[in-house]
């Protein structure tokens, strides 16, 4: 009984803590909506940078490099506000000499309605990006000989192109550069196929033209032969008639 009461009290305290964190996030966002509405409106884009989703759809926090948020941009201003000591909703750190930022409390993803709703909207895209980033890392680690075959093609390329366009992913970012290189390789393949198809079409057209010419010549020879046979028959008929008269 005593242990169960402590467990219950612990769960209740945890629930209260999660609720307090969510309320603090709501308050921070409301203050920002009044003072810097552009920054507040950048929440979906900032969350996309700081959240990923597994194959089963489970959302988890992830770190993002600070330089992913252009200085002075609405996204950077929102990050600054959420990092502020009075909010502490994000934490900054350094790894391998690179500054990065991440969500301070994983509980925010489920307990803060604004985050939960946005993640629900983006869940499929977050899964797609996670899969594309896995392929991008594989391409990056591949040897020179295997790099071409590790680029995106078909459905993966279509999904990557669509995501980069809709999310406005910078071309200079790792994923943006990967998709751009894949598009360039795909365009080259298509051009090469078009040239090859053109050559094959020209060859078939030449064969068809030659066959048509040969057919016409054969037809002409047949007509000439028939005319000669007719002339020969007429001549023979005249000879036979002359003989009878004689």
Average pLDDT over residues 5-28: 70
- Higher-scoring residue by pLDDT: 239, 9: 239
State the pTM of this model: 0.71
Rg of the Cα atoms in the chain: 38
Residue 203 has a pLDDT of 82
> What is the percentage of the chain residues whose pLDDT exceeds 70?
90
Closest CA to 64 of 76, 46, 50: 50
The residues with which 144 forms a beta bridge, in sequence order, are none
Query: Which tens digits make up the pLDDT trace of 138-183?
Result: 999 998 888 889 999 999 999 999 999 999 999 999 999 999 999 9
The closest alpha carbon to 114, from 54, 32, 56, belongs to 32
Quickly state the pLDDT bin for 239 (edges 50, 70, 90): confident
Q: State residue 131's pLDDT score.
A: 96
pLDDT tens digits, residue range 198-230?
Answer: 777 778 877 887 788 788 888 888 888 787 787
- Which pLDDT does position 12 carry in this prediction? 54
pLDDT of residue 212: 81
Q: Is residue 195's pLDDT more than 90?
A: no
C-beta pairs of 187-196 under 8 Å, 24+ apart in sequence: none
């Amino acid at each position: 009984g005593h242990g169960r009461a402590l467990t219950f009290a612990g769960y209740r305290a945890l629930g209260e803590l999660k609720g307090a964190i969510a309320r603090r996030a709501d308050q921070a966002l409301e203050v920002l909506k009044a003072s810097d509405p552009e920054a507040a409106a950048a929440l979906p884009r900032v969350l996309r940078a700081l959240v990923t989703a597994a194959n089963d759809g489970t959302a988890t926090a992830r770190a993002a490099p600070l330089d992913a948020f252009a200085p002075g941009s609405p996204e950077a201003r929102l990050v600054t506000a959420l990092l502020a000591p009075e909010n502490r909703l994000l934490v900054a750190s350094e790894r391998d000499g690179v500054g990065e930022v991440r969500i301070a409390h994983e509980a925010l993803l489920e307990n803060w309605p604004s985050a939960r709703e946005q993640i629900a909207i983006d869940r499929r895209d977050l899964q797609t990006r996670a899969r594309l980033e896995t392929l991008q890392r594989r391409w990056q680690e591949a040897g020179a000989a295997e790099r071409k075959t590790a680029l995106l093609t078909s459905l993966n390329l279509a999904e990557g192109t669509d995501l980069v366009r809709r999310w406005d992913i910078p071309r200079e970012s790792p994923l943006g550069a990967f998709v751009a290189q894949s598009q360039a390789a795909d365009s080259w393949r298509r051009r090469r196929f078009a040239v090859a198809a053109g050559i094959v079409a020209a060859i078939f057209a030449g064969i068809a033209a030659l066959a048509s010419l040969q057919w016409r010549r054969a037809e002409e020879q047949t007509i000439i032969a028939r005319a000669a046979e007719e002339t020969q028959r007429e001549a023979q008929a005249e000879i036979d008639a002359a003989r009878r008269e004689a």
